[in-house]
């Protein structure tokens, strides 16, 4: 593959993605035919009213949930037909996920939590890499603390360090700055920007905050499980206007 092709290659593609929950009487169509392409080295924010399908989109695109129909491709790999074991390996090696509720293990310290995905992927764990990730997130003095000894914002930063330490090709993040004050949020957004620009990792992030979405390269707007709008080179005002129109 030539350098040019590499630079423009697609990281993730979603084709006619449908995700339904519940049985016949109480069926909810959380995703209703989503088609999206995310380029390598791009940062996309996903926005939309509560219940519009943002988290479902992230979980399905990351292989954490199976779609009801449609396809999810990561590069030339089709997640839709993958076995559980193949999906698990991909999630360990190529995919990072920052969960809305952090999903840290309560019995482990911050550095043990961050080291966990490296251990699970069978890598030799470099504790200096682990500590560097935590220091970059301003947690150099919290390495040995357990989640219950950390504030919500500190726990969120541990979750971000844990998702970044394996340098995943694609990082999915559900409200990654939701628990942070504005100064900590700016630090995290700068770190995410350098991840996207310097190592061409791909970032797909859900946020409710127009100021956070404005850090992305583009914004996708969902409503009732469908893509209803897209914005490239977003600004806070443009994002806020589009969102207000959707929520009206
Ligand atoms: N496990 C589930 N079982 C049943 N319904 C679900 C499940 N998960 C999500 N849903 C429904 O699917 C729809 C989309 O939910 P989703 O969490 O993806 O929305 P969202 O845009 O992320 O919302 P929010 O901004 O409030 O977090 C909602 O109507 C929700 O009730």
Query: Based on the domain organization, do 240 and 175 belong to the same domain?
Result: yes
**Strand partners for 10:** 39
* pLDDT tens track for 123-141: 888 999 999 999 999 999 9
Q: Are residues 73 and 4 in the same domain?
A: yes
The confidence score (pLDDT) of residue 90 equals: 87
pLDDT digits (tens, 9 = 90+) for 139-179: 999 999 999 999 999 999 999 999 999 999 999 999 999 99
| Residue that finishes a domain, picked among 137, 167, 197 | 167
What are residue 14's DSSP bridge partners? 36, 72
| CB 48 less than 6 A from any atom of ligand 1 | yes
- What's the number of domains the chain is made of? 2
If asked whether residues 175 and 146 sit together in one domain, one would say no
Q: Supply the DSSP symbol for 49.
A: S
Residue 121 pLDDT level (bands cut at 50, 70, 90): confident
Confidence of residue 25 (pLDDT cuts 50, 70, 90): confident
Q: Are 243 and 52 in contact (CB under 8 A)?
A: no
115, 161: one domain: yes
- Asked if the ipTM is above 0.85, the reply is yes
pLDDT, one tens digit per residue, over 61-120 is 999 999 999 999 999 899 998 999 999 988 888 999 999 999 999 999 999 999 999 998
> Is there a single domain that holds both residue 47 and residue 59?
yes
Is the domain of 64 the same as that of 176?
yes
Answer yes or no: do 180 and 67 share one domain: yes
Residues 155 and 195 in one domain: no
178 lines ligand 1 (CB under 6 A): no
Cα 51 to averaged position of ligand 1 atoms, centre (Å): 5
CB of 55 shorter than 6 A to ligand 1? yes
CA of 69 to the centre of ligand 1 (A): 17
85 within a domain of the structure (yes/no): no
Other beta carbons less than 10 A from residue 61's beta carbon? 27
The last residue of a domain, from among 106, 134, 167 = 167
Counting from 1 in the atom list of ligand 1, the atom nearest the Cα of 58 is 18
* Domain span including residue 182: 1-79+171-248
Strands 77-78 and 69-74 turn out to be antiparallel
Instruction: Map residue 178 onto helix, strand or coil.
Output: coil
Asked whether residue 175 falls in the same domain as residue 158, the answer is no
* Shortest-distance Cα residue to atom 26 of ligand 1: 50
Span from the CA of 55 to the centroid of ligand 1 (angstroms): 7
CA distance 133 to 214: 24
């Amino acid at each position: 593959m030539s350098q040019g092709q590499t630079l423009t290659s697609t990281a993730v593609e979603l084709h006619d993605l449908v995700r339904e929950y519940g049985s016949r009487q109480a069926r909810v169509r959380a995703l209703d035919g989503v088609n999206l392409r995310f380029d390598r080295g791009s940062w996309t924010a996903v926005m939309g009213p509560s219940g519009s399908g943002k988290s479902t989109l992230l979980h399905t695109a990351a292989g954490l949930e199976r779609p009801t129909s449609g396809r999810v491709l990561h590069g030339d790999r089709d997640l839709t037909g993958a076995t559980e074991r193949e999906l698990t390996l991909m999630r360990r090696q190529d995919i990072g996920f920052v969960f809305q509720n952090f999903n840290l293990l309560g019995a482990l310290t911050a550095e043990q939590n961050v080291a966990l995905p490296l251990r699970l992927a069978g890598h030799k764990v470099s504790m200096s890499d682990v500590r560097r990730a935590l220091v970059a997130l301003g947690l150099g003095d919290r390495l040995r603390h357990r989640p219950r000894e950390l504030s919500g914002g500190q726990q969120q930063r541990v979750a971000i360090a844990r998702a970044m330490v394996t340098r995943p090709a694609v990082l999915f993040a559900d409200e990654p700055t939701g628990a942070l004050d504005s100064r900590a949020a700016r630090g995290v957004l700068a770190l995410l920007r350098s991840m996207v620009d310097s190592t061409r990792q791909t970032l797909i992030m859900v946020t409710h905050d127009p100021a956070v979405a404005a850090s992305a390269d583009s914004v996708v707007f969902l409503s009732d499980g469908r893509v209803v709008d897209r914005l490239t080179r977003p600004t806070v005002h443009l994002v806020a206007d589009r969102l207000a129109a959707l929520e009206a």
